[in-house]
Amino acid sequence: MVQLMNRTDNETKATVSPMEAPVREAAKPVVYDTKQLNLWYGSHHALKNIDLPIRENEVTAIIGPSGCGKSTYIKTLNRMVELVDGVRTSGEILYRGRNIFDAKYSVEELRTRVGMVFQKPNPFPKSIYDNIAYGPRIHGIKNKKILDEIVEQSLRGAAIWDEVKDRLNTNAYSLSGGQQQRICIARALAIEPDVILMDEPTSALDPISTLKVEELVQELKENYSIIIVTHNMQQAARISDKTAFFLNGEVIEFDDTDKIFQNPADQRTEDYISGRFG
Amino acid sequence: MVNPTTRERASVQELIAKAGNNKRKKVIEKIIPIILFLIAGVSVLTTIGIVATLIFETVTFFRQVSLLSFIFGTEWLPFSNKEPKFGILPLIVGTLKITLIAVVVAVPIGLAAAIYLSEYASDNARRVIKPVLEVLAGVPTIVYGFFALTFVTPVLQTIIPDLKIFNALSPGIVVGFMIIPMIASLSEDAMSAVPNAMREGALAMGATKFEVAMKVVLPAALSGILASVVLATSRAIGETMIVSLAGGSTPRFDADFTGSIQTMTAYIVQVSTGDAGYGTPIYYSIYAVGFTLFLFTLLMNFLASRITKRFREAY
């Protein structure tokens, strides 16, 4: 993990000098820039003219009622949404300046840079070790020593190393749901991605496991940009820097989390966060 | 509780009590399991009957022929007038030749078909291909038999000039084609049963479709795939018509695939359709061979269930 941090810190330093740090706070570089994104499932218009600049080393929460398009949106960011038949998109999403819909940009390349954690823990039915080593292995890392190192780093990064270090060879399905989810986070960390997408990562977890994952998200944002979909508004308020409120496929409001929850600009946002609907 | 005074009719609870269905239901509930048990018992009794007959006649056979010469004998000459010999090994070798070729042909093709169907095929393609595969499974084996004899053998002879008209290669290949649908269909079921969440997990890490198929889906479905292979092997061992028609009737204890062979099943056909007299060693020998065959398939079934348990990846 130490190595991980150094790597990202160096990268950040390369672009922003320490003296400018206070200024940097105001304008971190944009990782993901969504411009006029529209998406249809067949004839159903699921995302409408989305504009959303997502910045580096922040936690961006996406909230909204069921069916508002928040899951669709996060799955569009790594093009997983295209697994559904009959999906069409227009507009563009720039990841680090490159349009992810560009025919020359392979989805494999994109997904190697952008990790994802799903709603339900979905480890592979393999050993804990093989789960974490899966990503590095398919990308051609075979050296056992390096893999051992990656596995330990990733498990430490996902705050689960101490719980599993003595049984790395047992099946990941022998773990509890909360542990499985952290294994999935570790699995995503193992290829040292740039961005981590989380699609309601705690909705299938008990409160204690949820707390652990939330704490983890706070630590991870030091090194990663995190986009998290959640139907739990308290969660969004607790862990995110920015919040986007989705409703019926539109972004109603996107701002600092404090602003959204204390002084929302739009009446619909206020109604939603105060529990009047959703 | 609805207030009874607000309406004319009796309450539903009263109507239920009046209908008195309970007594009749109790009787039915008692009888049904007994009837079902008896019906299920028929198949169990049939199995016991078959095994008992097999064992009984096999024991009679071994009163006339020594068990050791049966198991270790390398010559099967039941029709010899001078000195009949009942060494089962040539028949087992014939069966194994067919099985080996069949498995070598069917496993790669069947698996490739399963991977294609479960991971790549569009719904439309699957809708066409699966029924075609099932038709292949429904072709009567006698048809496969003369297909082997009159089509595959001549074609093979243009490639291998030494190939005899009756040989192990041609029926072996055709038996392989016969069991492809079994492997393809059962493996596809096993692979389709792997939750999509697992595929998504791998895809989201930048895995390609092929990597997902080979490194996630295949291992996760391994127990079902192996079970399908074992069942298909069992089917190949027991296959009769194809080998009777195209394999010949020369029991041989060697490793040659180009010449005439005889399998256990083909021998049974030969004797059953011939005129071996009741009570002769030849008559009883088909039970001994049948029993050996039964042991083979039993072993395969046992293997299948062990493999399914051993390789089950819990998810």
pLDDT in tens, chain B (315 residues): 555 556 678 888 888 888 877 788 888 999 999 999 999 999 999 999 999 999 999 999 999 999 999 999 999 998 888 888 999 999 999 999 999 999 999 999 999 999 999 999 988 999 999 889 888 888 999 999 999 999 999 999 999 999 999 999 999 999 999 999 999 999 999 999 999 999 999 999 999 999 999 999 999 999 999 999 999 999 999 999 999 999 999 999 999 999 999 999 999 999 988 877 788 889 999 999 999 999 999 999 898 888 888 777 666
**Higher local confidence (pLDDT), A11 or A153:** A153
Q: Quote the pLDDT of residue B14.
A: 85
| Residue A278 included in any domain | no
Which tokens belong to A241?
Answer: 């820097």
* Residue B95 covered by a domain: yes
Alpha helix positions (H), B116-217: 123-138, 141-147, 153-159, 169-192, 196-203, 209-212
Could you tell me which chain A residue has the CA closest to the CA of B315? A125
Residue B32 burial class via C-beta count within 10 angstroms: exposed 0-12, middle 13-18, buried 19 and up = exposed
pTM of the model: 0.81
Q: Is residue B22 in some structural domain?
A: no
Mutate to test the interface with B, among A108, A120, A130, A154 (most CBs of B within 10 A): A108
Mean pLDDT to the nearest integer, A239-244 = 96
Instruction: List residues bridging with A59 in a β-sheet.
Output: A226
Cross-chain CB nearest to B197 (options A118, A126, A191): A118
Instruction: Please judge whether A108 and B207 are an interchain contact, meaning their C-beta atoms are less than 8 angstroms apart.
Output: yes
pLDDT of residue A13: 42
Q: How far is A158 from chain B (nearest CA, A)?
A: 16
Q: What angle, 0 to 180 degrees and rounded to 10, lies between the N-to-C axes of helices B169-192 and B89-115?
A: 40
- Give Dmax (Cα) for chain A: 56
Other C-beta atoms lying within 10 Å of the C-beta of residue B219:
17
Closest residue in A to B209 (Cα–Cα): A108
Size of interface A-B (CB pairs under 8 A): 72
Residue count (chain A): 278
CB contact under 8 A, A124 and B220: yes
Of B197, B205, B208, the CB nearest to A120: B197
Report the C-alpha gap between A87 and A102 in whole angstroms: 16
Distance, in Å, from the CA atom of A53 to the CA atom of A50, rounded to the nearest integer, reads 10
Greater confidence (B10 vs A224) lies with: A224
Lowest mean pLDDT among A6-20, A102-116, B10-24: A6-20
Q: Is B282 among the domain residues?
A: yes
- A132: number of Cβ within 10 Å: 31
Query: Which CATH number fits the domain that encloses residue B300?
Result: 1.10.3720.10
Inside any domain, residue B153: yes
Q: Is the dihedral of CA B7, B13, B15, B17 positive or negative?
A: negative
Task: Residue A61: name the closest of A215, A178, A221, A226 by CA.
Answer: A226
At A189-215, the pLDDT tens digits run 999 999 999 999 998 888 988 998 999
Residue A11's pLDDT band (cuts 50, 70, 90): very low
Q: In this predicted model, what pLDDT tens digit does every residue of A21-36 receive, in sequence order?
A: 444 456 789 999 999 9
Contact A122 B195 (CB under 8 A): yes
User: Does residue A57 register a pLDDT over 80?
Assistant: yes
Q: Which residue of A has its CA nearest to B216?
A: A124
Cβ separation A124–B197 shorter than 8 A: no
What average pLDDT score do residues A143-162 get? 94
pLDDT digits (tens, 9 = 90+) for B165-184: 999 999 999 999 999 999 99
How far, in Å, CA of B93 to CA of A59, rounded? 68
Interface touch A124/B202, C-beta < 8 Å = yes
Rounded Cα–Cα distance for residues A132 and A175 (Å)? 14
Answer yes or no: do B201 and A122 touch at CB < 8 A. yes
Higher pLDDT, A8 or B288: B288
Which residue in the set B200, B219, B315 is minimally distant from A80, CB to CB?
B200
Q: How far is B64 from chain A (nearest CA, A)?
A: 55
| Residues belonging to chain B with any Cβ–Cβ distance to chain A shorter than 8 Å | 195, 197-198, 200-208, 211, 215-216, 219-220, 313-315
* Domain containing residue A164: CATH number: 3.40.50.300
| Tally of domains within chain A | 1
Full residue range of the structural domain in which residue B304 is found: 85-310
Task: Evaluate whether residue B75 is within a structural domain.
Answer: no
Find the residue in B nearest to A110 (Cα): B206
- How many of the other CB atoms lie within 10 Å of CB of A119? 16
Q: How close, in Å, is residue B116 to chain A by CA atoms?
A: 17
Q: What share of chain A is helix, strand, coil (3-state, %, to 5)?
A: 45, 25, 30
Q: Do A187 and B205 touch (CB under 8 A)?
A: yes
CA distance A103 to chain B (A): 16
Contact B198 A135 (CB under 8 A): no
According to DSSP, residue B48 is labeled H
The verdict on residue B45 lying in a domain is no
Query: What residues in B contact A123, CB-CB < 8 Å?
Result: 201
CB count within 10 Å of CB A112 equals 19
Mean pLDDT calculated for residue range A131-157: 95
The mean pLDDT of A144-149, rounded to a whole number, is 96
Round the CA-based radius of gyration of chain A to a whole number and report it.
Answer: 19
Count of structural domains, chain B = 1
* Separation of alpha carbons A12 and A28, rounded Å: 10
**pLDDT for the residue A14:** 44
Least Cα separation, residue A274 to chain B (angstroms): 33
Domain of A208 in residue numbering reads as 2-273
Query: Rounded distance, CA B130 to CA B125, Å?
Result: 8
Residues of A in contact with B204 (CB under 8 A): 78, 80, 111, 115-116, 118, 188
Residue B23's pLDDT is 80
CA-based nearest distance B112→chain A, Å: 21
pLDDT at A5: 44
- Distance set, CA A159 to CA A152, A163, A164 (Å): 10, 9, 10
What confidence score (pLDDT) does residue B18 get?
A: 83
Contacts of B200 in chain A (CB under 8 A): 80, 83, 118, 122
Q: Does residue B14 lie within any of the structural domains? A: no
Q: How far apart are CA A132 and CA A189, in angstroms?
A: 8
Tell me what pLDDT residue B1 has: 53
Selecting from B198, B203, B204 the residue whose C-beta is nearest the C-beta of A124 gives: B198
**Would you state the pLDDT for residue A115?**
95
- Output the pLDDT for position A124: 94
Q: In whole angstroms, give the CA distance from residue B219 to residue B212.
A: 10
- CA nearest B221 in A: which residue? A125
What integer pLDDT is reported at residue A278 of this predicted model? 64
Residue B212 lies in a domain: yes
